[in-house]
Amino acid sequence: MNMTDTKTLKYAKSHEWLRLDGNRGTVGITDFAQKEIRDIVYLELPKVGKELTQGGQAGMIESVKAAFEIYAPVSGRVVAVNEKVAQDVTLVHKDPYDQGWLFQIEIKNPAEANNLLTEDQYNKITTNGGH
Amino acid sequence: MNKEEKLLQKIGIKNFEELLPPIPKELLFPQINIPEGKTELELTEYVESLAAKNPPVTSFLGAGAYDHFVPQTVWELAKRGEFLTAYTPYQAEASQGTLLALFEFQTMMTELFAMEATNASLYEGATALAEAVIMSRRWHQEELGLAAKKLLIPRALHPHYKSTLATYTVNLGVHITEVPYDRKTGKLDLAFLENALNDPEAFGFVAGQPNFFGVLEDVDALAEIRQKTKALFIALVNNPITLGILRPPGEYNADIAVAEGQPLGLAVNYGGPNLGLMAAKNLYMRKMPGRICGKTVDAEGKTSYTLTLQTREQHIRREKATSNICTNQSLCALAATIYLSLLGPKGLKEAAELTFSRAHELLDRLVALKGKAGRPLFEHGEFFQEFPFETQITAERLEVAEAAAGIIPGYPLSRDFSELPNTILIATTEKTTPAMMDQLTDFLQGNVIASEAKQSHKRGPF
Amino acid sequence: MLATLFDKTKPGARAIGFPKGKIHPSQKIPSHLLRKTPPGLPEVTELEVVRHFTKLSQLNYSVDTNFYPLGSCTMKYNPKACFRLAFHGAFSERHPLLPAWAIQGTLKALKDFENALLEITGMDALTLAPAAGAHAELAGLLVTRAYFQNRGEIPQRKKIIIPDSAHGTNPASAALAGFEVVTIKSNARGRVNIEELKKHLNETAAMVMITLPNTLGLFEDEISEIARLAHQAGVQMYMDGANMNALMGIAKPGNLGFDVMHLNLHKTFSVPHGGGGPGAGVLLVKRHLDDFLPVPRIIEKNGQLQIEEAHPKSIGRIRSFHGSTANLLWSAAYVALLGKEGVLEASKGAILNANYLRVLLKEAGLTPFSDEPCMHEAVFTIDPKKLNGVRTLDIAKRLLDFKFYAPTIYFPLIVPEAIMVEPTETETPETLEEFASAVKTILQEARTTPETVKTAPHTLPVKRIDDVTAARNPVISWQPSRDQ
């Protein structure tokens, strides 16, 4: 996979990123989030076929002493899950925007993506204290 | 300056009361009407006066608590202050003793049950079963995306376990159905079970090995039934000592196995503390309740142990935790670990075989009396250490005579099974001596009652 | 590090054997029900077992060997005299299904203990069945639910209101009892925010759960007002009695407006913690909830103590048999030793020691969460930025090198870098001074040689343990193929 230009991504306040590719969206967590969580030990990813709604819970990220929810940035059906990252969670730390992607969804309503943030808007949130 | 003055001075106040919150005067320092504090000598006198009111009796009680032999070494070691007065091993570096013992405990449980995943113990058997049921339901909801509500349990399940299950699940929308037992053999009605599991609403079924009546189930048939359903199979091992000789749940397709671990080195203790055991197939590991100890390394790569997979637990996930449990039965688990280390596979097998032999010797003796004492409830069917026995004398008359004879012949099943009047569940362990058996056969033939009935006729119309 | 007993196994070795029985299982049980492969238990001699577990015990810190200032856990000394009741054969070797006539001594000990607990708490009725505090809490929620059910207020009353400083068991138990959890933020003084609370006190709320004193070691000074508002809205008041060691003889929860409460006997009432359990819990209620308590219960009838196995409105059983009797007897002995003056002395001593240590630790350089006097425990924080990045976890680990167990850390969740210290009444001032002096030294190290603190412990059997590896790749049992 090529290096992602993070400027082309959309962001949720809850620290997920979304890459749009037609009606398909790829979801991961941001570099800021992976640094905050520090040592990720386990990922609970949604099952293929699961219907997600924007802002609803899609999975969990666990560190040794904390569990964080992953929210769906847009509504849709899960069509693929990154099996590699499920096996080796450190990929999220090493390469959050490419090898560390989490799941892909078939987007139900592309207009929902308009509710998400641009990189600049997201960066503003995180520099103001984040989480 | 006394100690209190010294402390108050440093704190910077004159009176202890200044430390207290604004509690209304009339509520502060209330009268506590209990006796004056006792010295150790006075405590001893109090204890002995109470002990005298717990007379020794010859007991054939089992029904979920078994008075097995406990080697002296078990508690000589478990009572060491370093084990007894430590807390949950949150600071793993200063708790390697407890942690390594828990790791050994978990290993022994995986070996006993022939399962891969286990925890560091739960409260006791009935709550362990309730936790397994909740875990099965969650599995159906979260992993299979199903909203099934029906749970099948044997009618021949320990009444306390039934009641506990009902209490735990009443607000969670679980519907419990009882599977009858065969009146001839005491075994689970497999046709009923299989039929009930055709209902996609079922998320789990429970079977005991042996069941509450002490009868061994056909575990191969249960394994086959599990193949045909999405419902999880929870195996309740009535007494883990049986696993010294009986097929373990991992070999008959159980998803989760639970048991009361009390027989493994713990006294019956009038009910507790006990030891809830749970083991499961590997895929359920992250859905398990309770503490889990894991092996890891320290900063220099040296093998060490720590509590792990803690994100399942209440102190992190709060209302979304797999359970509200916040302790394990650590010291009891330690005792069980020492017990199993002392016995080893051979000793465990021998303990099971001797217990088995005692029960069958006793039944043979009773049967040899050709009905004078009564008759076994089930003519066919295999059992391990206990069996229901229909007595010649009515349950009421037996109960009245027990105190005079100093014997408890068994657990009266009519209490919970109205279809079984005058039937007691008789249990043995390896401690059941031939002399105790003589006492029982005598008692059940009415030899004691005949002389007692005259004296106590005012107590009942018999 | 010590090897496991599995590493030492020599086929054929064993410590304990049994005589042969007359009838062999193979004579009666078909072979398909019998085990083919024996379980892989260790095969070792008795001396090996004794040495192994003795050495293991020596790897532990414990109250008997070290100061254990673990906040919220009340690690007080467990008087050895309590063994006289808890491990006495006339009590321990008694089957739980014995009829009442055969067990009057145990029932009397338990009844005396029940009466003492009712006196100490000012509640009206109780059950000794719960296996632990969290178990009692679950029972308390189920009892409350049954009470509202009986009044026809279920499912309307479905919310349990819990402050954000509460123990995690509170929300976990509420969820298990079928309730929804509403978390309310504490105010700047670490107390319940009454304005926030008022918003939720309506016909959809079932109960407010309050830890008293709270997990910051502070008394909810507006508790009477909270209780008044709750009761006005028909809402029940629950007290998490985990911190009862601050209240014995000082105030009775029953007088403070609580309807339901639980006690953790392994905290205030001295049951040894056993490396994480077994605990024992007691659930206590006011009269109006009495009928809903779980069974069995001890009742007095015709001058004899009896077991009540069923009760029409009871929630039923919450476990098999009566309760963790040996633990209950331990606590019963402890209360008998304390007596009427002793209970107040214990709580007074706990508060005095906590405040003494609070002052000493502030002098040593920790920042108290509050400058008010504390009850039985105090919460502190540090600023890693001012300590070369040294965090609370590092200080906890370094304390182990000074032969002190660590305080509770990162709890309550609302205090960043929290350090929660509870000395209990049984420690001497000298021990507290030594502890404070160790903290001072460590903070000094943090400023001058932070690596020493960040890589601690240095003098224990193992160095800093890697929890991340343990959780990423869980190895939870010994396997010959991998470990041999």
pTM for this one? Answer: 0.96
Residue A40 lies in a domain: yes
Inter-chain residue contact C176 with B402, CB threshold 8 Å: no
Nearest to A67 among B143, B145, B316 (CB): B316
Asked if B382's CB is within 8 angstroms of C29's CB, the reply is yes
pLDDT at residue B120, rounded to an integer: 96
Instruction: Test C16 with B323 for CB contact under 8 angstroms.
Output: no
pLDDT tens digits, residue range C108-156?
999 999 999 999 999 999 999 999 999 999 999 999 999 999 999 999 9
- Measure in Å the smallest separation between the Cα of C470 and chain A Cα atoms: 9
User: Mean pLDDT across the stretch C433-453?
Assistant: 98
Residues of B in contact with A59 (CB under 8 A): none
% of chain C with per-residue pLDDT over 90: 95
For C139, phi then psi, to 5°, come to -60, -40
- Residue A124 domain flag: no
Contact between B311 and A67 using a beta-carbon 8 Å cutoff: yes
- Look at chain A and report how many structural domains it folds into: 1
Q: Do A66 and B286 touch (CB under 8 A)?
A: no
Indicate if the pLDDT at residue B458 is higher than 50.
Answer: no
* Range C81-338 classified under CATH 3.40.640.10: yes
Q: Which residues of A touch C (CB under 8 A)?
A: 39, 41-42, 62, 64-65, 89
Average pLDDT, chain B: 94
The shortest C-alpha distance from B148 to chain C (Å) reads: 17
pLDDT computed for residue B208 by the predictor: 98
Residue C182 has pLDDT above 90, yes or no: yes
CATH number at residue A19: 2.40.50.100
Over residues B428-450, mean pLDDT: 91
- Give domain limits for chain C: 5-57, 81-338, 341-470
A48 touches chain B (CB under 8 A): no
Q: Is residue A100 part of a domain?
A: yes
pLDDT at residue A130 in the model: 42
Task: Decide if B141 touches A, using CB distance below 8 A.
Answer: no
pLDDT tens, position by position, C270-329: 999 999 999 999 999 999 999 999 999 999 998 899 999 999 999 999 999 999 999 999
Do the beta carbons of residue B327 and residue C135 sit within 8 Å? no
ω before B22 within 30° of 0 (cis)?
no
Chain B partners within 8 Å of A47 (Cβ): 143, 145
Distance between C317 CA and the closest CA of chain B, angstroms:
5
| Cβ–Cβ gap C278/B332 under 8 Å | yes
CA distance to partner chain A, nearest, from residue C457 (Å): 19
pLDDT digits (tens, 9 = 90+) for C194-225: 999 999 999 999 999 999 999 999 999 999 99
Architecture of domain B58-68+345-459: Alpha-Beta Complex (3.90)
Within 166-205 of C, beta carbons closer than 8 Å to B belong to: 167-169, 171-178, 181
Confidence (pLDDT) at B1: 75
Can you tell me the mean pLDDT for B176-194? 97
Minimal C-alpha gap between A14 and chain B (Å): 18
Residue to test with chain C: of A36, A39, A40, A88, most C Cβ within 10 A? A39
pLDDT in tens, B202-226: 999 999 999 999 999 999 999 999 9
The reported pLDDT for the residue numbered B146 is 86
CATH architecture of C341-470: Alpha-Beta Complex (3.90)
Q: Confirm whether A97 is domain-assigned.
A: yes
Closest listed residue to residue C69, CA positions, set B90, B318, B18: B90
A62 touches B at CB < 8 Å: yes
Tell me how many residue pairs between chain B and chain C have CB atoms under 8 A apart. Answer: 650
For B:335-374, CB contacts with C below 8 A are 338, 340-354, 356-358, 360-361, 364
B62 near C254, Cβ under 8 Å? no
CB proximity under 8 Å: C 108-167 to B: 108-109, 115-116, 119-120, 122, 131-135, 137-138, 142, 145, 167
Interchain contact C401–B (C-beta under 8 A): no
A90 belongs to a structural domain: yes
Test C132 with B326 for CB contact under 8 angstroms. yes
Average of per-residue pLDDT across C414-432: 96
Is C477's CB within 8 Å of B107's CB? yes
pLDDT exceeds 80 at position B448: no
CB within 8 Å: C468 and A41: yes
Question: Nearest-CA distance from A41 to chain C in Å?
Answer: 5
In a domain, A62, yes or no: yes
CA distance linking residue C266 with residue C279, whole number of Å: 5
Q: Percentage of chain C with pLDDT > 70?
A: 99
Q: Would you give the distance in Å from CA B375 to the centre of its chain? A: 29
**What DSSP element (H or E) covers A21?**
strand A16-21
Contacts of B92 in chain A (CB under 8 A): none
Residue A28: pLDDT above 80? yes
pLDDT at B335: 98
Question: Which of C216, C273, C321, C395 is the mutation pick for testing B, counting most B CBs within 10 A?
Answer: C321
B310 touches chain A (CB under 8 A): yes
Residue A38, chain B, CB below 8 Å: the answer is no
CA A100 to chain CA mean position, Å: 9
Mutation choice for B interface testing from A42, A64, A89 by most B CBs within 10 A: A64
Question: Which of the other chains make 3 or more beta carbon contacts under 8 angstroms with chain C?
Answer: A, B
Residue B447 confidence (pLDDT):
77
Which of A39, A62, A70 is the best substitution to test chain B (most B C-beta atoms within 10 A)?
A62
d(CA C366, CA C446): 12
Q: What are the beta bridge partners of residue C189?
A: none
C409 touches chain A (CB under 8 A): no
Which residues in chain B touch residue A63, judged by CB atoms under 8 angstroms apart?
311
Confidence of residue C484 (pLDDT cuts 50, 70, 90): low
**What confidence category does residue B456 fall into, taking pLDDT thresholds of 50, 70 and 90?**
very low
Q: What is the 3-state secondary structure (H, E, C) of chain C?
A: CCCCHHHHCCCCCCCCCCCCCCCCHHHHCCHHHECCCCCCCCCCCHHHHHHHHHHHHCCECCCCCCCCCECCCCCCCCCHHHHHHHCCHHHHCCCCCCCHHHHHHHHHHHHHHHHHHHHHHCCCEEECCCCCHHHHHHHHHHHHHHHHHHCCCCCCCCEEEEECCCCCHHHHHHHHCCCEEEEECECCCCCECHHHHHHHCCCCEEEEEEECCCCCCCCCCCHHHHHHHHHHCCCEEEEEECCHHHCCCCCCHHHCCCCEEEEECCCCCCCCCCCCCCCCEEEEECHHHHHHCCCCEEEEECCEEEEECCCCCCCCCCCCCCCCHHHHHHHHHHHHHHHHHHHHHHHHHHHHHHHHHHHHHHHHCCEECCCCCCCCCEEEECCHHHHCCCCHHHHHHHHHHCCCCCCEECCCCCCCCCEEECCCCCCCHHHHHHHHHHHHHHHHHHHHCHHHHHCCCCCCCCCCECHHHHHHCCCCCCCHHHHC
Q: How high is the mean pLDDT of chain C?
A: 96
Q: Which domain holds residue A19?
A: 8-108
What is the pLDDT, as a whole number, of residue C113?
98
pLDDT tens track for B79-116 = 999 999 999 999 999 999 999 999 999 999 999 999 99
As for the ipTM of the complex, it is 0.97
Mean pLDDT computed over A67-91: 95
Count of A-C CB contacts under 8 Å: 13
Across the interface, of B82, B107, B319, the residue whose CB is closest to C478 is: B107
B455 has pLDDT over 70: no
What dotted CATH number matches B72-339?
Answer: 3.40.640.10
> In the structure encoding, which two tokens stand for residue A125, read together?
């949130």
On chain A, the residues whose CB falls within 8 A of the CB of C467 are: 64-65
Per-residue model confidence as pLDDT tens digits over C262-284: 999 999 999 999 999 999 999 99
Residue pair C417/C73 in contact by the 8 Å Cβ criterion: no
pLDDT for B325 equals 85
Put simply, whether B404 touches C (Cβ < 8 Å) is no
| Residue B452: per-residue pLDDT | 54
The per-residue pLDDT for C317 is 98
> For testing the chain C interface, which of B93, B176, B361 should be mutated: the one with the most C CBs within 10 Å?
B93
> Residues A39-54: what's their mean pLDDT?
94
Residues of C in contact with B85 (CB under 8 A): 62-64, 75, 78, 272-273
Neighbouring chains of A at 3+ CB pairs within 8 Å?
A: B, C
Is the Cβ pair B311, A65 closer than 8 Å?
Answer: yes
Q: Where are the domains of chain B?
A: 58-68+345-459, 72-339
pLDDT confidence band for B326 (50 / 70 / 90): confident
Name which residue leads in pLDDT, B317 or B233: B233
